[in-house]
Structure 1
Amino acid sequence: MLQNLEADFPAHSPRPAQAPHALEGMRVIDFSHFIAGPFATMILADMGAEVIKIEAPQRGDDFRQYPPVHPDIGQGAPFLWSNRNKRSVALDLKSAEGLRIARELIATADVVVENFSTGVMERLGLDYASCRHGNPALVYCSVSAYGREGAFADRLGFDPIAQAESGFMSMNGYPDREGVRALSPVMDIGTAMMAANAILGALLARARTGQGQAVEVALFDSAVLMTGYATLQHVFSGEEPRRHGNTSPDTCPSGAFRARDRSFYINCGSNKIFQRLMAQVLERPDLAEHPDYASGAARSARREELFAILDEAFAKEPWTHWQARMRVAGVPCGLVRTVGEAVRSPEARERKLLTRIPHDRLGWVPNLALPIRYSATPLADPVPAPTVGQHTREVLGAVLGYGADRLDACAAAGAFGPAPLAREAAPS
């Protein structure tokens, strides 16, 4: 496992040592788990916020066990992907002492993020109404499945369910079979990005007003948004979107084609792109100007005959031949790659998307960067996701001023779970 990491991926290039962080000085107390909440807080952590992840003792976030799990660190690749640049504090929120510590941490926070089932934070006394009394500037973000209020507030939600119920699944796949879910957790990722944006907006508002607020983002709401403009197309026309496989209902020719050696995708999103494809790439100016292909609608009506022409032409030469010609002509195109090919591609290496970063047990672990580039406040250098409770004593010592004796007393009272943490150095 991870045998070829050094050969395949470059080491991360550190940010300038003296450059500030965009969210420098912000503290986030993160009660979230799985993907949508943790990915949102990781975005904030990458921007320089101090993110303290609160986890159940020993077990931690259930997402830690999503495969493949590395046996030497007891956590899987999906968890590493969504939890870098955080510190983990293990608290038993079922114990009075654990709850008391959680409240103390929240009192020091700029942001709280939670995605428990509706009602859990209220039962714990950690809901927004309770927390804002001691911290009126707090930005409190709840990520839920169907909202915190209303007839569906009790429903649980996961990415595939949101894909199904939003109509997203019905749009994908081929017309002769059921709709197909996206394997990537696109709804969780979209919800995470919405949550991060919502939090940043609330922090900006707080800078003007001095007041915090509650923020809510629902998975279902995000999923409906992720169906794109199909929602308004339906309202305009009354028609349901049809599944078009790898082609497009809006542009033609757009789809996957086969060169002599590889499959690739082209997207002719305008008449001018189509004309460049035919005249400059295929050297068929007669088709570029033909009235049968003069508009997107006309080309869509003759999709089969047009695709047959393209299939025959593209099969005559290898991908490198067509890629060079389309790049010069300004025709959007790209290889149909596997994930492994994508992360090892020249484009990914040029953008430094996947690198390796130091790990105290494994030597190196892979790291996938966010697609954000700041000129003045570059993202934080990535630090691998923590083990469960790795920073409990360190955080409580530095943030709350707990000394070793008090930490031991908290452990004995069950704040950190049934098994006391091994004593380690802590500020007194």
Structure 2
Amino acid sequence: MTSMPNDGPLAGLRVIEMGALIAGPFCGQILGDFGAEVIKIEDPKSGDPMRQWGRSLPKGQSPWWPVIGRNKKSVTLDLRTPEGREIAQDLIATADIAIENFRPGTLEKWGMGYEALADRNPGLIMARISGFGQTGPYAERAGYGLIGEAMGGLRYVTGEPDRPPARAGISIGDSLTAMHAVMGIGMALHHRARTGRGQVIDAALYESVLAVMENLVTEYDLTGYVRERSGSILPGIAPSNVYPCAQGDTILIGGNGDTVFARLCEAMGRPELTADPRYATHAARGANQTELDALIGDWTKTWRLDDLLAHLDAKGVPCGRIFRAPDMLEHEQFVAREAIVETPHPVFGKVKMQNAFPKLSETPGKVRWPGPALGEHTEAVLAEVLGLTPERLAELRAMGVI
């Protein structure tokens, strides 16, 4: 696998991933999806905890690992040993990018801070992912995604208004931070192309969440309004909600723009609503959101879901069903765009997973292989990249370094 040709826009770049769990590894996954050679360093005894997360599957396999470990080469190194750190530094000296999500200060304690690594590799770009960033009074605190989601403002506004804050159902804080790290890497690559110099990307969980919180802070600053939990709606944006259908189904309808609302009224057989002062403008619809949603719901619940989807689509009204995994596997839009792909797996035969996104017209990403076995590429990578001999590899294995 070390000699498998890579294509994609990042082909020719080498990435050393020292992260674990989600934020660091998802950053590496995205880079690998688009052609970078991603060498993942894992603890020889247990590997990335994501190998054990999720529902238990045959032979101790995790449904997480085929996805977040895909397109990577697994190299085991005990970074707590001098020999392991020396080899890691040698690998990083050959790399374009390094990713780490240890608690700030850990790499410095090991003599692997950015300055030390850049002495050997001035063009090195290092993405440092942490809960609170590399500086500030919280820098050295442990920080998981849920803490970043809370501190960045997302948890407070998620859920029903009469219940405690909820979570999104996925590790969105980790994923947002990984995406911000990838954006930073892209910018740093452009800077390096002009100057030859690398730099550090400092991606904090709480700041990555804060970045997508729209006007939450500005609204408070200018008006004193604190945004609260609002369930399935955005206050003042109507109609835009989940509505009941016959047989217990539900439908999402977004009709808050003036022209779209007019099309919705026509679809409902109620064109006069567009002239009703309670609904004639965006502000009026927002002020009368509850009664407007009730009016629409009384109409939608008389329809079967599939019939209503077809009817609204014909009228140009944005609408949709709420998808689960089985719906995605069967839906024509997912199939037509190959949004879900199937890849060979040594244990399961084949596994389905989401494709590489976004789609590039000339150099698209792809899933080349699922998450590898722990240490599957250790000897091949260390021999090919660093020139370690079979004898030296045997010594390192006997010492527990690999």
TM-score, normalised relative to structure 1: 0.89
Aligned to 2:41: 54
Q: Secondary structure of 1:58's partner?
A: coil
Give CA-to-partner distance per residue, 1:235-275, whole Å, 9 cap, x none: 22111112221122131111111122320111123111111
Q: Report the CA distance between 1:150 and its aligned residue.
A: 1.7
Distance apart, 1:390 and its partner CA: 1.0
Contact in 1 for aligned 2:44/2:400 (Cα 8 Å): no
- Partner secondary structure for residue 39 of structure 2: strand
**8 Å CA contact retained: 2:9, 2:35:** yes
Q: Is the 8 A contact 2:156 2:229 kept in 1?
A: yes
- Greater alpha carbon shift after TM alignment, 111-120 vs 284-293: 284-293
Residue 135 of structure 1 aligns to which amino acid in structure 2? Answer: N
Secondary structure, aligned partner of 1:137: coil
* Pairwise CA distance, 1:343: 4.2
Distance 2:174 2:329 in 1: 21
Equivalent pair of 1:251/1:270 in contact (CA under 8 Å): no
- Residue 384 of structure 2 aligns to which amino acid in structure 1? A
Q: Per the alignment, in what secondary structure is the counterpart of residue 64 of structure 2?
A: helix
The correspondence of residues 380-419 of structure 1 with structure 2, limited to 5 A, is 380-416=366-402
Call closer, same or farther: CA 1:224–1:343 in 2, change over 3 Å: farther
Match of 2:12 among 25, 42, 66: 25
Higher RCO (CA-CA < 8 Å; seq separation 6+)? 1
Compute the displacement of 1:291 (Å). 2.2
Match of 1:42 in 2: 29
- What is the rounded CA distance, in whole Å, between the counterparts of 1:246 and 1:414 in structure 2? 52
Paired position in structure 2 for 1:367: 353
> CA offsets, 1:204-239, max 9 Å, x none?
111111111111100010111232222222222111
Aligned to 2:265: 278
Paired position in structure 2 for 1:13? none
Q: Residue 119 in 1 paired to residue 86 in 2? A: no
Q: Does 1:357 align with 2:368?
A: no
What are the residue-to-residue correspondences of 1:160-239 with 2, within 5 Å? 160-239=146-225
Equivalent residues of 2:356, 2:367 under 8 A apart = no
Residue 309 in structure 1 maps to residue 289 in structure 2: no
**Shift of the alpha carbon at 1:19?**
9.2
Cα separation, 2, equivalents of 1:376 and 1:338: 31
Task: Tell me the CA shift for residue 98 of structure 1.
Answer: 1.4
Bigger drift between 269-278 and 243-252 goes to 243-252
| Matching residue of 1:298 | 284
SS in 2 for 1:216: strand
Structure 1: gaps of 5 or more residues: 1-16, 417-428
User: Which of 91, 94, 106 is matched with 2:77 structurally?
Assistant: 91
Map Cα deviations across residues 352-385 of structure 1 (whole Å, 9 max, x no partner): 1222210123211222113211121121343110
Match of 2:50 in 1: 63
Deviation at 1:331, TM superposition (A): 1.2
> What do residues 275-313 of structure 1 show as CA deviations (whole Å, max 9, x unaligned)?
11002x112111122222111221122223222221221
**Letter of the 2:159 counterpart:** G
- Partners of 2:366 and 2:163 lie apart in 1 by 45
2:143 counterpart (153, 157, 182): 157
Shifted more, 99-108 versus 292-301: the winner is: 292-301
**Secondary structure in 1 aligned to 2:278?**
helix
Name the Cα RMSD after superposition: 1.8
2:355·2:366 contact (CA, 8 Å) conserved in 1? no
Provide the aligned length of Structure 1 versus Structure 2: 398
Q: In structure 1, the residue corresponding to 2:16 is in which secondary structure? A: strand
Shift of 1:18: 9.7
Q: Which moved more, 1:24-33 or 1:160-169?
A: 160-169
TM-score where L is the length of structure 2: 0.94
